Structures are given as structure tokens and as C-alpha cells.
A = this chain, B = another copy of it.
Amino acid sequence: MKLYGYFRSSAAFRVRIALNLKGVKVENDFRHLRKGEHLTPQYAAINPQKLLPALQLDSGQILSQSLAIIEYLDETHPQPPLLPRDPVGRARVRSLAMIPACEIHPIQNLRVMAYLKDQYELDDVGTSAWSRHWIETGFDAYEASVGKDKNTGAFSHGDSPTMADLCLVPQVFNAARFKVDMDRYPTIRRIHEACMKLSAFDLAQPSKQPDAEA
């Protein structure tokens, strides 16, 4: 399999964690987001959505959208499971995963920030404030969802990592770049620290990728 990614992409980071947890080795094909290497006709022929990541199967078929890729990996490589077995638990994990994946990251990713700069003449201070606002809105929701729920364990759901943690950790890395005050989110911080003790998470972080920049 081949993973099209970029070291700093939160969505690619999620998939890297899943691959590490499942023990699946892939070839890497890095596309530099800031240089627009995902916008070429050649890449559009691979992934018509022109987004990272994409996973090319050995059959040649291409999967896109990080959560769809993670669900595929969980269905085809069941151990260790990234979703609990009971339908209500699965719904809880998916809902938590969607706080970063739907409610935070899409609103403050590179293309939205570029559009804000281009259309409304925001500078880096302005786009940082925008990012912080949506990260904090989402983290308020995440903290409220995990803080007092008896289903929360060492991780977001129980005592092993799930798809929710795979989405949370890259968003915490992103939050650090925008200087979000994590003292407001003690449960998120505790879960993040538990995740980062696992090599599957540690080795997936942006600074440890071959295409990493300072």
C-alpha cells in the first residue's frame, strides 16, 4: 500500500497512527501542501478531491478521506480494534472523532486560512485568532463530552485507543502551534499524554516524518 501524505497534515497524521497500531507497513509518497503539490492534474487523477491523505491499495484502488480510510483499515485489519463492539459505544467514539474531524480541522485548515488571507486580508495574527477560536470551541465540546462520562477511561473511550484518540492527538499538536491554553482541557491533556506514551502515536508525529521541516 502507498500513503499519499504530508508531515504536518492532521488528517494524514490520523491515518499514520492507525497504520502503526495495526502494524501495517506502507510506502510513503509525500505531497507538499504549502507548495500545492496536491493540486496538480497528476494528483487529481489519483484523488479527485485533491486532498491529503489518500491510500493506494495493492490492487491500485485509491481510498480518500482519513476517517473512511481508518474505518477501512479497521474492517480489514481487525486487531487491535479502533471501535468498540457495541453499537452505542461505536456511536460515541465516532461522534467524538468527528469533533476534530468535522467541527475543528476543516474550518481552520490550510486552504481556509489561505482564503481568509486572500479575501479578507487577514495576516498571520488574524488567522491564528481564527484557528484558536474554532479549536477552543471544539475542545470545549470534547472536554465536556469526555470529562464526566463514565465511558472515558485512560483514553477517550475505555482503556485502549480508539478512532477518537486518533483524531484528538493531531488536533492537540495543531493547538500547540496556535498556543491554545491547554489548562482549560485537563481530560484532553491527560488522554493526549497517555496516547503519546505509545510508539504508534509517537512515531506518527509530524517531526518524525521523512518530509518534516523545522
Contact = CB atoms under 8 A, between A and B. Distances in A.
B75 A90 contact: yes
A139 to B, nearest CB: 11
Given A49-B145, A101-B102, A67 B94 contact: yes
Contacts of A115: 133
Contacts of A63: 88, 91-92, 95
| A contact face: mostly helix, strand, loop, or mixed | helix
B133 A64 contact: no
Interface residues of A, number: 42
A115 B130 CA distance: 9
Given A69-B91, A76-B87, 17 more contacts: A49-B141, A57-B88, A65-B95, A65-B99, A65-B102, A67-B94, A67-B98, A68-B90, A68-B98, A71-B90, A75-B87, A102-B106, A103-B106, A106-B107, A107-B107, A111-B137, A120-B120
23 contacts: A49-B141, A49-B145, A50-B141, A51-B103, A51-B141, A61-B88, A63-B88, A63-B91, A65-B94, A65-B99, A68-B95, A69-B91, A71-B90, A71-B91, A72-B87, A72-B88, A72-B91, A75-B87, A101-B102, A102-B106, A106-B106, A111-B137, A119-B130
Interface of A: 44, 48-51, 57, 61, 63-65, 67-69, 71-72, 75-76, 87-88, 90-92, 94-95, 98-99, 101-103, 106-107, 111-112, 115, 119-120, 130, 133, 137, 141, 144-145
